[in-house]
Chains A and B, each alone.
Chain A
């Protein structure tokens, strides 16, 4: 996972990184996608997400999650690192069901954080294997609790930050927040890669 990319991870065109003082003097990740591909992503105006859902994001999620292209975890590492490096709350990525994770062969949320070199903890576990995307809005909002605390999890009276890939109705994040607050968390913030 640490190799330097010479081709754009999305369109396979050769990457030409221009040398600049900023790159030489600050510690930055090497770019993994070309300027043309990165221009297709749309920044989110909200404070709780990095990007807005659009066609480019749809293609990205398809290749990353459905085609299981783990290498794409690196695409947003610079942006995620910049967002999280000064974060004081403990970061919790939304977990996958163990069966689901074995099927996909990796946890897409954890890989995003690992690629960005951001430490995280895990206190929750998923209770169902059903996916949110297979349900409609009503079904999502009415769903039974999607998460529970892990067996030996110790929730402190402090601030936590939940990190998920995409927020549509917000049900997933609401469920996880409730579990943490009921267990004694002081405050729970949320952040997503994409605003749906």
Chain B
């Protein structure tokens, strides 16, 4: 006898659980989707909500500027669509969004933690505090300086949560961070199915109990995660785009705690968490103080570069790095200025390269610096966080520019001296006038050092 009924394909359930998805975008067969809907396994909602106010039901954008009305040939009516999340496939009034309400995927409780590292006293304390908060379902802020070993801190908490059968998400505003975390978590949690989601990520099979994602990808989830960890919670565009913050809220279940991890929390975050659940690590894992930035005037650097000349002090600094064979990063405030400067620096050493946000070879170039194939890189703020290069030296050109906020400058200074064998290095802020942001960055770094070594 052959079974004639319909069986729910496990792959469909595994994919759609926790996701909010455009009906026309599903990769599963029409028949299976229709049958799932008939079984009430999907909750269907309209793409754009009109009452009480206009809102995109996927990305929760309610900025009227980002909606467009047009005469739709599909529904023969005036349709409204959201331009904010357009890149993920257009959501309009006549498109339907599906939310899984059917049977849950199988979650395993067998997860091993394969990590032989050791915590410092401060790390151990913070890790314990974080675990306590998760057990009490309480949100928590971890404030740890650059190079304190924040990623390792997460291991015990993530392991505990996975063993409880909870679904965990580690979200970050930066694709680079996802790419860096993914292989590390794969080695540490060899038994766990992990998905890495970012713009243009490949299709991944099965049901992932641990998801590493950019905050943008969270638009596509709804009430999915029992623990939400936000790494680099202060990075652009997370603090800038309110819909990303609301995406974090909607992607987690109602009672799920949020763990925020950052080196440079905003004052707002600090006041919100400082008195209840807050861990602070002012010291690096190798127990050496943070390199303190020096200020160096570089008057009219922009004019000089545009005239085809590297300012003398900057040239000296670069030549010194080249002579001593130390890898270096030069941060520029604008792509345009960096493009003008690149050929000038290549006269000093032909192998010097430049990276910017839209550079398709961005990953390869950073790897080349790490493998000492290039002596140094010119870059914009995209490399301000998430990268670790042995014995790197850093200079900021035009540190007075508005793009270099104190948190950006602290992150940039945090690239230096992360390796236990090279705990010191040079951080120079070349400037055309000192700003409060620069002062603020330096004061904070001095404060952390004082806190850590007193």
The residues of A with any CB-CB pair to B shorter than 8 Å are: 1, 3, 5-7, 63, 67-71, 101-107, 111
Chain A binder among B64-72, B364-372, B413-421: B64-72
Do residues B81 and A70 form an inter-chain contact, with CB atoms below 8 A?
A: yes
Closest Cβ of chain A to B197, distance in Å, is: 20
Do residues B86 and A101 form an inter-chain contact, with CB atoms below 8 A?
A: no
Residue of A nearest to B68 (CB): A71
Do residues A69 and B83 form an inter-chain contact, with CB atoms below 8 A?
A: yes
Do residues A107 and B73 form an inter-chain contact, with CB atoms below 8 A?
A: yes
Name which of B74, B83, B90 has the most chain A CB atoms within 10 A of its CB: B83
Q: Which of B86, B87, B92 contacts A105 (CB 8 A)?
A: B92
- CA gap between A70 and B87 in the complex, in Å: 13
Do residues A111 and B74 form an inter-chain contact, with CB atoms below 8 A?
A: no
- CA gap between A63 and B89 in the complex, in Å: 10
Contact of B446 with A by CB under 8 A? no
Do residues A104 and B70 form an inter-chain contact, with CB atoms below 8 A?
A: no
In the complex, 10 of the A-B residue pairs with CB atoms within 8 angstroms, ordered by the A residue number, are A1-B69, A3-B65, A6-B65, A67-B89, A68-B90, A70-B81, A101-B73, A103-B74, A104-B73, A106-B71
Do residues A111 and B70 form an inter-chain contact, with CB atoms below 8 A?
A: yes
Do residues B70 and A70 form an inter-chain contact, with CB atoms below 8 A?
A: yes
Do residues A105 and B69 form an inter-chain contact, with CB atoms below 8 A?
A: no
Per CB-CB distance, the 10 closest pairs between chain A and chain B, nearest first, are: A71-B68, A70-B70, A105-B74, A68-B90, A101-B73, A105-B72, A102-B74, A102-B73, A105-B73, A67-B86
Contact of B79 with A by CB under 8 A? yes
Do residues A63 and B65 form an inter-chain contact, with CB atoms below 8 A?
A: no
Chain A residues within an 8 Å CB radius of B90: 67-69
Residue of A nearest to B84 (CB): A12
- CA gap between A6 and B65 in the complex, in Å: 8
- CA gap between A68 and B68 in the complex, in Å: 11
Name which of B65, B79, B87 has the most chain A CB atoms within 10 A of its CB: B65
Chain B residues within an 8 Å CB radius of A68: 81, 90
Chain B residues within an 8 Å CB radius of A103: 74
Closest Cβ of chain A to B3, distance in Å, is: 36
Do residues B73 and A63 form an inter-chain contact, with CB atoms below 8 A?
A: no
- CA gap between A146 and B86 in the complex, in Å: 32
Chain B 61-105, CB within 8 Å of chain A: the 1/0 string? 000010011111110000101010011011010100000000000
Closest Cβ of chain B to A2, distance in Å, is: 9
Do residues A69 and B86 form an inter-chain contact, with CB atoms below 8 A?
A: yes
Chain A residues within an 8 Å CB radius of B73: 101-102, 104-107
Do residues A71 and B83 form an inter-chain contact, with CB atoms below 8 A?
A: yes
Chain A residues within an 8 Å CB radius of B89: 67
- CA gap between A107 and B83 in the complex, in Å: 18
Known: A102-B74, A105-B73, A105-B74. A70 touches B86 (CB 8 A): no
Closest Cβ of chain A to B64, distance in Å, is: 8
